[in-house]
Amino acid sequence: MQNHERDRDQDQAAAPSKNGVGTAAAAPAPLFYADPRPLNPAVHGNKGLSRPPTCRFAADAHAVVLHAQEFRMAAAYYPIVFSDDESAMPLAVLGYREARNVFVDEAGQWAKGTYVPAYVRRYPFASGEGTKSGEMLLYVDAASDLIVDMESNPDAEPLFADGAPGSATKRALEFCAAFQRQVPETRAFVDALIGHDLIQQKEIRLELPGGGNQLLTGLRLVDEARFNALPDQVFLDWRRRGWVALVYWHWASMDNFRRLLDRG
């Protein structure tokens, strides 16, 4: 779909080292992150994570990055496509119109009973590079309304306690580390698809409930005929790696385009 340039994963390094907090120059901001800053007790010692959280930050996102390990869960709710750029990152489609996420309601709550992509769940945190080679830090979006002053929001979870990472920060470190560990497998899968020229441009036309239709362009899907023509040794290797199942879940998820219409 259109305007996916900002949806590509920009956290390509390994898990944070040590406690993952420190100082570094701000990284380029990916989707959702208006002002990502390294989490630091000197700066964020009086900050907390707002409770209960909302997903208002994702209300305008019609697609987000999806890792290969998420395909099975995500395929039950979202169409899974590949970004229209050189990265060809997998994306969970969240709406059929630009800047409209049909899974976030007016109260900012994600639709109950649906899988929430990990890219959404890790916000307002993210991992990023530090000033030293190989150094990884935990970042936080300083502009997020989920990050609040503890003094005026005593029910929030403190990011630090006596200068040490609080429970919210520890969970974020673990989650972001796990998120980063999924990057290499996803990249390997996508590179294999690209290497065999399987990702092709497609268009999907949806018939709107009130009449008329919506043409979705900029979609890239795995071409079924080309996939079925893979050499046997390649297919067997992909089956061993679990990649054949990923392709099948991707195809099965196409039925969800029509379900997007039911959500408005």
pLDDT tens digit string along 167-190? 999 999 999 999 999 999 999 999
Domain that holds residue 12: 5-262
Residue 29's pLDDT is: 65
Structure tokens at 13: 């390094």
Q: Which of 16-20, 50-54, 136-140 shows the lowest per-residue confidence on average (mean pLDDT)?
A: 16-20
Cβ 125 vs Cβ 21: under 8 Å: no
Residue 216's pLDDT is: 87
Does residue 14 have a pLDDT over 80? no
In terms of C-beta distances under 8 Å and separation of at least 24 residues, what long-range contacts does 227-231 make, across chains too?
227/198, 230/196
SS (HEC) of the chain:
CCCCHHHCCCCCCCCCCCCCCCCCCCCCCCCCCCCEEECCHHHHCCEEECCCCCCHHHCCCCEEECCHHHHHHHCCCCCEEECCCCCCCEEEECCCCCCCCCCECCCCCECCCCCCCHHHHCCCEEEEECCCCCCEEEEEECCCCCEEECCCCCCCEECEECCEECHHHHHHHHHHHHHHHCHHHHHHHHHHHHHCCCEEEEEEEEECCCCCEEEEEEEEEECHHHHHCCCHHHHHHHHHHCHHHHHHHHHHHHHHHHHHHHCC
What's the CA gap between 171 and 49, in Å, rounded? 12
- Number of compact structural domains in the chain: 1
Burial class (CB in 10 A: 0-12, 13-18, 19+), 135: middle
Does residue 8 have a pLDDT over 80? no
Does residue 56 have a pLDDT over 90? yes
Does residue 255 have a pLDDT over 70? yes
Structure tokens at 211: 């009449």
